[in-house]
Amino acid sequence: AKEKGKNTYCFYSLQMDEILQKRFEFEQSLKKAVENEEFVLYYQPIINLNNMKIAGAEALIRWIHPEKGFIPPLEFIPIAEQTGLISQIGKWVVKRALFDLGHFMQTLNGNFYVSVNVSLREFSSASFVESILSSIDNFKVEPSSLGIEITESVAMVDPQNTIDILNSLKKNRIKILLDDFGTGYSSLNYLKQLPIDVVKIDRSFIQNMTDDQKEQKIAKSLIDLSHILELKVVAEGIENEKQAELLKSFMCDFGQGYLFGKPMPKEEFLELAKKF
């Protein structure tokens, strides 16, 4: 029995070694990816449901690994957060988005905006606002054409700090979007105090809306609630006409999802935008 115990221990420790080794290699290759800029930004259209025109785009990062190919953000953003690499990645995202925005503006109307996702560690870093403002300055874009998406859960970590940061962004006319709305636990009292412009209703509420009455009512009340708070609403993850029609009947302001366009490279986005 003792013998077996020892073997088991060896087995697990070997397995642990392997996991740690893999993890170490992944971190190393992510570090390299940052140095070599192995990232691209994809853009997904955000549609104004009243006139069906493109109102903006969400920038979504993609990692093109030289050997492994395409790696989705959910596989590396959490690791980037844990290792601190997110601060460099986040800065790259903002700069690239502002650079691309210059091109978009040549084709699209003046109210067009690009929103970028910001994770907790970026958002709570002391230099966050300053770094965004200096990038805006460098690229000479109109601040209101940049949107910052923070999730409800990020906003909840340090409420007063969040309010302060968002206020200074807002003071500089940067657009603020509350992402994944409905999935966190923010109180109405708190929500009321956040200087946000737009809420994005999470895809999970839209997904089953057309065949589940309860889901439908929840989606409608999230829209109504946002309007009471004088916020605009984007519904995320719209995949079919039926969902779009229902959301329009609920007075939802904007929509995003595969129905209108998947996240796509900049050039493709520009082609699509011309057709709208």
The residues of the shown chain that bind Ca ion, judged by CB under 5 A, are 117, 149, 179-180
**Which of the choices ligand C2E, Ca ion, none does residue 196 contact, using the CB cut-off of 5 to 8 A by kind?**
none
List the beta bridge partners of residue 178.
150, 199
One-letter identity of residue 161: N
> Choosing among ligand C2E, Ca ion, none, which partner's interface includes residue 33 (Cβ < 5 to 8 Å by kind)?
none
Amino acid present at 69: G
Residue 1 touches which member of Ca ion, ligand C2E, none, C-beta under 5-8 Å by kind:
none
Say how far apart CA 31 and CA 80 lie, in whole Å: 9
- Given candidates 147, 182, 237, 255, which one binds ligand C2E under the rule CB under 6 A? 237
Give how far Cα 105 sits from Cα of 74, 113, 149, Å. 29, 9, 20
Does 152 interact with ligand C2E (rule: CB under 6 A)?
no
Size of the residue set binding ligand C2E (CB under 6 A): 22
- Geometric angle at alpha carbon 161, from 160 and 163, rounded to 5°: 65
248 binding partner (options ligand C2E, Ca ion, none; Cβ < 5 to 8 Å by kind): none
Least Å distance, CB 39 to ligand C2E, is 8
> Nearest distance from residue 190's CB to ligand C2E, in Å?
21
Identify which of residues 15 and 259 has a Cβ nearer to ligand C2E in the complex.
259
Binding to ligand C2E (CB under 6 A) within 61-80 occurs at: 61, 72-74, 77
C-beta of residue 160 within 8 angstroms of C-beta of residue 129: no
Q: Please, what is the minimum distance in Å from the beta carbon of residue 177 to ligand C2E?
A: 10
Burial (Cβ within 10 Å: 0-12, 13-18, ≥19) of residue 150: buried
- Helix segments in the chain, DSSP class H: 2-36, 73-83, 86-107, 120-123, 128-139, 152-157, 159-171, 188-193, 203-207, 213-228, 241-249, 266-275
CB of 11 to ligand C2E, least distance (A): 35
Among 188, 258, 271, 274, binds ligand C2E (CB under 6 A): 258
Q: Which does 73 bind (CB under 5 to 8 A by kind): Ca ion, ligand C2E, none?
A: ligand C2E
Q: How far is the CB of 238 from Ca ion (least distance, A)?
A: 12
Is residue 201 a contact point for ligand C2E (CB under 6 A)?
no
Does the protein bind ligand C2E through residue 119 (CB under 6 A)? yes
Look up residue 127 and give its two tokens.
């230099």
Which one, 105 or 120, has the nearer CB to ligand C2E? 120
Question: Cβ neighbours of residue 114 under 8 Å, at least 6 residues apart?
Answer: 43, 56, 57, 58, 59, 97, 98, 100, 101, 104, 145, 146, 147
End-to-end CA distance of the chain: 72
Amino acid found at 46: I
Point out which residues bind ligand C2E (CB under 6 A).
Answer: 44, 60-61, 72-74, 77, 93, 116-119, 179-180, 203, 237-239, 256-258, 263
